[in-house]
Structure 1
Amino acid sequence: MPRSNPAPTPRPLAVTMGDPSGIGPEIVAKTLLQAPYARTCIVVGDPLVMRHAFDALGTPVRLRTLGDVGEALLDEGTVNVFAASRLDALPPIGVVNAASGQAAFDAIMAAIRLAKAGQVAGIVTAPIHKEALAAAGLHYPGHTEILAEQGGARRVAMMLANDEIRTVLVTIHCSLLDAIRRADFDAQMSAIRFAHEGGRALGIAAPRIAVAGLNPHAGEGGLFGDEETRIIGPAIEAARREGMDASGPWPGDTVFMQARRGRFDVVVAQYHDQGLIPVKYLGLEKGVNITLGLPFVRTSPDHGTAFDIAGRGSADPGSLQAAIGYASRLAAARA
């Protein structure tokens, strides 16, 4: 009888350590101490930082330093760390530090290389600090811009999701004044298309997309601004002609409530805080950031480096665990 070929080993997810001065290494360590995660993830970061993170939790662990993903042992007893940097000393905890910014960046870059080479199924990024990046001479507004540039994506969008609502942003990291300028017809169309594609990637066959207005009461028929009638409304009509179930513009102060009640699957928000406040209000431990438009899967927790509690052992890994869950779903859908 001919022997059947063994099933291929699933590719792991790459989980970056985040800023070493923040809570990133801690929440990564807490997550990987749980057996199901240890078998499906490798850490991309600095071995010294991650060894310290595990030691601080007081739980013995077998940490395996990798120079190649193929060397990983994906079992319950091993934590695999792909060495993106090798610091000589631990950076200070809870403060902006150039060495931490550089090490965090090195981990992101290594994870991107692994994803582009097909060696990992996707990337889950722990939080970084923008000031630490700047201190290291790396002038990026955040993760999204690094991933877009280095990942070779022409245009990307942020989807923020939890168990109750999902939102895609028209504009991301810029001032409110710049957001108004950038929220043109092309930006509206791009966000609506990303909302449609993102919803489908999460298993929704025909996502119902609500587009929020920019102005109070969605402009109140032009009394409070004309962006809704001049830009947003025409984009919604164009999206509908493309076959997408888009509607609006809806007032920004009520549309998320309607989405939470099940009327809509995805809300397109015009600017950063309009979309993120509702998601974060429902709990930082539940929110996940998904980057749409990349040639690989990328998710992250919906919170920052939390310097105020770094090093205390009290950080909640819930959002990182949710991000890993979303990344696994998206990677499986792509496969």
Structure 2
Amino acid sequence: MNHKKPTIGVLLGDSSGIGPEIIAKLISRPEIYEQANVVIVGDYRVFRMGQKIAGLSQPVTITDHLDAVPFEIGRPVFYDYPTISDGEVTLGKVNPKSGKAVMDTFAFMVDLALAKKIDGFVFAPFNKEAMRLGGSPYHSELDFFKEKFNRPNIPGEVSVLDDLWTTRVTSHVGISQVSALITRENVCNTICFMDGVLRTFGIKNPRLAVSALIPLAGEGGMFGPEEKEAIAPAIEMARREGVSAEGPFPADTIFLRIKKGNYHAVVSMYHDQGQIATKLLGFDRGVTVHGGLPVAIATPAQGSAFDIAGQGKANPEGITRAFLIAGRLAARLKA
């Protein structure tokens, strides 16, 4: 292993979607090899399928172990992990075998990280329904990572678009459940979590804008108590911890403040409050980072895109940015 660079694992994602194709495109980009050593884990037959779809033939070094691997610039190492053959792949359709393959390779990659054979990893898009049908007991990959890395209380997901970072207090829950989860402790923990992720990335003095929950930031409590009783006190708690956070700002104008360059990040109260804005600003460039873990983990914001699977049209910009972010985070975590 080249110890001057982090080693980043790469997972193929759901074989029924665009995952194998965008990984084939990713490894053809020279900038990733400047950032890190590259280890792909997955079924080699599916990988070759992705290369054919992409019309690319980047050479790889196939190995059956990851001890003392001789990395070469511009040539990834491929660990063949048989899961699903190209003949079993159903392009554009939910496939339980593809979902099980994703879960199996997730587990293997986490084991590599815990054994310190990799410093982080990126994964191509997968399909939650396929994973559930394939036997996964987890609500999301974040729940899996929290369990395996023993970090049960981290908020976890951070969205990155260019220089804008966002996270949220609540994530994959129904809108009717959100208000009960907006507590001082939850909001403060999320603000401090976002500050920590930014500092790990190398931003020395992060400035955070915190969103309100209620329209017009509650108008002094006229429309609801959350801003006065939970969000504003949580911001003050975070400030006492040394975090530069301001708000709560109305959710419909908070991203206008970001456009002016006043803040590095937005802390939203629920999923769509932040995700709609960032995806409108640049869906193909968006990245999701799983922060607060001992290794760097990132994935593109795009989904498995069954509607264009197998057509060679998939944009690799998101997975490339995910790789570069993971490489930078891994280098700092490793230092």
Partners in 2 of 1:179 and 1:48 — Cα distance? Answer: 43
1:30 pairs with 25, 39, 44, which one?
25
1:252 is paired with a residue whose SS is: coil
2:150 pairs with 129, 152, 155, which one?
152
| Structure 2 residue 157 is the aligned partner of structure 1 residue 162 | no
Q: Which residue of 2 aligns with 1:80?
A: 77
Deviating above 6 A after TM superposition, structure 1's stretches of 4 or more consecutive aligned residues are: none
- More moved, 316-325 vs 141-150: 141-150
Q: Which residue of 2 aligns with 1:3?
A: none
Q: Which residue of 1 aligns with 2:123?
A: 125
CA contact (8 A) 1:84 1:106 kept: no
| Structure 2 residue 18 is the aligned partner of structure 1 residue 19 | no
Identity %: 35
Partners in 2 of 1:153 and 1:15 — Cα distance? Answer: 22
| Structure 2 residue 252 is the aligned partner of structure 1 residue 253 | yes
1:142 pairs with 120, 126, 140, which one?
140
| Structure 2 residue 69 is the aligned partner of structure 1 residue 44 | no
Partners in 1 of 2:131 and 2:284 — Cα distance? Answer: 25
CA contact (8 A) 1:44 1:81 kept: yes
Partners in 2 of 1:7 and 1:22 — Cα distance? Answer: 33
Distance 1:43 1:103, change over 3 A: same
Partners in 2 of 1:195 and 1:261 — Cα distance? Answer: 20
Shift of 1:100: 0.2
CA RMSD of aligned residues (A): 1.9
Distance 1:169 1:314, change over 3 A: same
- More moved, 137-146 vs 78-87: 78-87
Distance 1:37 1:74, change over 3 A: farther
Q: Which residue of 1 aligns with 2:292?
A: 293
CA contact (8 A) 2:235 2:246 kept: yes
Distance 1:223 1:271, change over 3 A: same
Distance 1:78 1:191, change over 3 A: same
CA contact (8 A) 1:18 1:24 kept: yes
For structure 2, list consecutive stretches of 5 or more residues without a partner in the other structure: none
Q: Provide Cα deviations, 1:151-209, integer angstroms capped at 9, x if missing partner.
A: 22122221111124211111111111222222222211110111110121222212111
1:128 is paired with a residue whose SS is: coil
1:183-202 → structure 2 map (5 Å cutoff): 183-202=182-201
Shift of 1:109: 1.1
CA contact (8 A) 2:217 2:249 kept: yes
Q: Which residue of 1 aligns with 2:64?
A: 67
The normalised TM-score by structure 1 is: 0.93
Q: Which residue of 1 aligns with 2:114?
A: 116
1:62 is paired with a residue whose SS is: coil
2:306 is paired with a residue whose SS is: coil
Q: Which residue of 2 aligns with 1:263?
A: 262
CA contact (8 A) 2:26 2:320 kept: yes
CA contact (8 A) 2:184 2:234 kept: yes
Shift of 1:301: 0.5
CA contact (8 A) 2:178 2:270 kept: yes
CA contact (8 A) 2:6 2:331 kept: no
Q: Which residue of 1 aligns with 2:178?
A: 179
1:102 pairs with 95, 100, 103, which one?
100
2:228 is paired with a residue whose SS is: helix
1:140 is paired with a residue whose SS is: coil
Q: Provide Cα deviations, 1:292-329, integer angstroms capped at 9, x if missing partner.
A: 11111111101110000011000000010001111111
Partners in 1 of 2:146 and 2:2 — Cα distance? Answer: 33
- More moved, 38-47 vs 163-172: 38-47
1:268-287 → structure 2 map (5 Å cutoff): 268-287=267-286
| Structure 2 residue 328 is the aligned partner of structure 1 residue 329 | yes
What is the identity, as a one-letter code, of the residue corresponding to 2:40?
V
Shift of 1:70: 2.7
Distance 1:285 1:255, change over 3 A: same
For structure 1, list consecutive stretches of 5 or more residues without a partner in the other structure: 1-5
- More moved, 219-228 vs 151-160: 151-160
Number of equivalenced pairs:
330
Shift of 1:76: 4.8
Partners in 1 of 2:102 and 2:248 — Cα distance? Answer: 39
CA contact (8 A) 1:130 1:140 kept: no
Q: Which residue of 2 aligns with 1:227?
A: 226
Q: Provide Cα deviations, 1:76-117, integer angstroms capped at 9, x if missing partner.
A: 564422233332433111111100000011111111111111
The normalised TM-score by structure 2 is: 0.93
